[in-house]
């Protein structure tokens, strides 16, 4: 190759490289978050301490002892001009299906992972659920459409459309996330309490690459649709597998091989190049190879579990919030419509003692905290029982009563 040609090729590659770092590199995310929060770097450092402790505890316990499955209420804000960019509900569901299938290991590529990485693949039992109740308590499809030319190009203050970030995972869908047609599909925000408090959390996603459908430029089954999984990975505190290059710290995940990263311009699943002396996990959702997206590793899953327990995220999947946003039936109305079980619980709110009068015994009484974690279990053998609630934390709890044939649930407030 002529020297001048080599320079042109190099410039082209560097151009791609620089460009490819723009939308969702760790540095780019920090810069975006810094605009409204100058302390974000130290806060994210504290987040690392929290994450590390959480994962160490997981390793000590040998298995995850917390919540086994999660639901996260989602709201989509779609910006369009007339019909342009106005994706329909079918396409909305198609994109969500990709996301849910990927996270749960139900994606097509799950069973065809390179043997070098098959043993470290992992998934989370999580469902991203379109909200059916809006912040005012009214019914919603979980999808909002806005004729907004600025937002259509992802310009102006798009966050003004946010729904309460503690209660809804907000996904903003301009047609182009960088103002004009480009390779860049999306970007995300990391877990950060300040961002959630100020409704500046969520992901931004180009509507033309969301799922498959009339207004998607993707072909049915094209792995590029799994960029949503990549972005939600960031939203759950994952970095790129190539973050930090061959350095020791790399992406803060132990089991992802260090890599210089495969580029956005590579295609297919035959890109498992060697870098940093090892084989690249090119089919990892957090790689930049958008044509072969198949897996998270166990280490990445552990990190995402920690993120779900972060104060910026933990309220989203609480039973109370799932009921409020319509992603789960209200805890107080479960299975008891045809119940013959008669239960009186008082006083509510409760201080030190809670009295249960129950028409049928024996029964098992279980208290759950806001995170759905069982915190107290009692056996009820007589029709009247007094429970000492002084050991329960202040705040809302849910109880469930199980007899041989009935299940009945309710909610109490502990005040002490």
Query: Footprint of Zn ion on this chain (CB under 5 A)?
Result: 24
In the complex, minimum distance from the CB of residue 24 to Zn ion, in angstroms, rounded to a whole number: 3
Q: Which is nearer to Zn ion, 24 or 306 (by Cβ)?
A: 24
Residues 231, 320, 357, 406: which is the catalytic one?
Answer: 231
Complex with Zn ion: residue 24 or 143, whichever CB lies closer: 24
For the residues of 330-355, what is the DSSP string, one character each?
A: -GGGSS-TT----EEEESSSBSSEEE
What is the C-alpha to C-alpha distance for residues 216 and 294, in angstroms, rounded to an integer?
A: 21
Question: What's the closest the beta carbon of residue 298 comes to Zn ion, in angstroms?
Answer: 20
Give the number of other Cβ atoms within 10 Å of residue 65's Cβ.
Answer: 10
Closest among 175, 168, 170, 211 to 189, alpha carbons compared: 170
Whether 109 and 283 have beta carbons less than 8 Å apart is answered as yes
Nearest approach, Cβ of residue 354 and Zn ion (Å): 48
Q: Which is nearer to Zn ion, 24 or 253 (CB)?
A: 24
Partners of 411 in the beta sheet?
A: 398
Quick one: CA dihedral 77, 80, 83, 87, positive or negative? negative
Q: Least distance from C-beta 23 to Zn ion, angstroms?
A: 7
Burial class (CB in 10 A: 0-12, 13-18, 19+), 60: exposed
Q: Which residue is nearest to Zn ion (CB)?
A: 24
Of the pair 19, 339, the CB lying nearest Zn ion is at 19
Q: Which helix (H) or strand (E) holds 364?
A: strand 363-368
Closest to Zn ion by CB, 288 or 368: 288
Picking from 224, 223, 275, 283, the residue whose alpha carbon sits closest to that of residue 250 is 275
Active site residue 231: yes
- Residue 89 or 260: the one with the smaller Cβ distance to Zn ion is 260
Whole-number Cα distances in Å, 90 to 94, 211, 219, 349: 6, 9, 15, 44
Contact, 286 vs 233, CB < 8 A?
yes
Supply the residues annotated as catalytic.
Answer: 231
């Amino acid at each position: 190759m002529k020297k001048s040609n080599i320079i042109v090729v190099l410039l082209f590659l560097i151009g791609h490289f620089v460009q490819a770092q723009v939308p969702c590199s760790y540095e780019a995310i920090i810069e975006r978050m810094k605009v409204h929060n100058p302390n974000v770097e130290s806060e994210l450092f504290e987040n690392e301490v929290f994450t590390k402790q959480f994962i160490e505890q997981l390793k000590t316990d040998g298995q995850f002892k917390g919540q086994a499955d999660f639901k996260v209420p989602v709201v989509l804000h779609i910006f369009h001009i007339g019909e342009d960019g106005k994706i329909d509900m079918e396409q909305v569901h198609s994109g969500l299906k990709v996301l849910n299938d990927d996270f749960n290991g139900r994606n097509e590529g799950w069973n065809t992972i390179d043997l070098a990485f098959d043993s470290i693949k992992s998934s989370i039992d999580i469902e991203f659920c379109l909200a059916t109740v809006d912040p005012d308590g009214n019914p919603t499809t979980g999808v909002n459409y806005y004729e907004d030319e600025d937002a259509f190009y992802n310009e102006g203050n798009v966050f003004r459309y946010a729904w309460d970030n503690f209660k809804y995972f907000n996904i903003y869908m301009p047609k182009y996330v960088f103002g004009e047609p480009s390779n860049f599909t999306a970007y995300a925000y990391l877990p950060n309490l300040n961002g959630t408090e100020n409704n500046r959390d969520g992901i931004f996603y180009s509507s033309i690459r969301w799922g498959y459908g009339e207004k998607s430029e993707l072909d049915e089954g094209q792995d590029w649709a799994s960029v949503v999984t990549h972005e939600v990975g960031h939203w759950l505190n994952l970095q790129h597998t190539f973050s930090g290059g061959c350095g020791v710290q790399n992406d803060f995940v132990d089991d992802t091989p260090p890599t210089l990263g495969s580029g956005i311009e590579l295609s297919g699943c035959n890109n498992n190049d060697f870098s940093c002396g090892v084989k690249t996990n090119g089919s990892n959702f957090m790689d930049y190879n958008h044509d072969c997206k198949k897996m998270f590793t166990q280490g990445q899953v552990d990190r995402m579990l920690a993120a779900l327990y972060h104060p910026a995220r933990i309220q989203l999947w609480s039973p109370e919030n799932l009921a409020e946003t319509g992603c789960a039936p209200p805890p107080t109305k479960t299975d008891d419509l045809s119940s013959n079980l008669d239960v009186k619980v008082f006083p509510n709110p409760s201080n030190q003692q809670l009295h249960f009068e129950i028409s049928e015994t024996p029964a098992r009484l279980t208290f759950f905290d806001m995170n759905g974690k069982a915190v107290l279990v009692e056996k009820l053998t007589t029709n009247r029982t007094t429970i000492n609630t002084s050991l329960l934390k202040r705040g809302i709890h849910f109880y469930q009563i199980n007899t041989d044939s009935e299940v009945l649930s309710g909610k109490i407030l502990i005040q002490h």
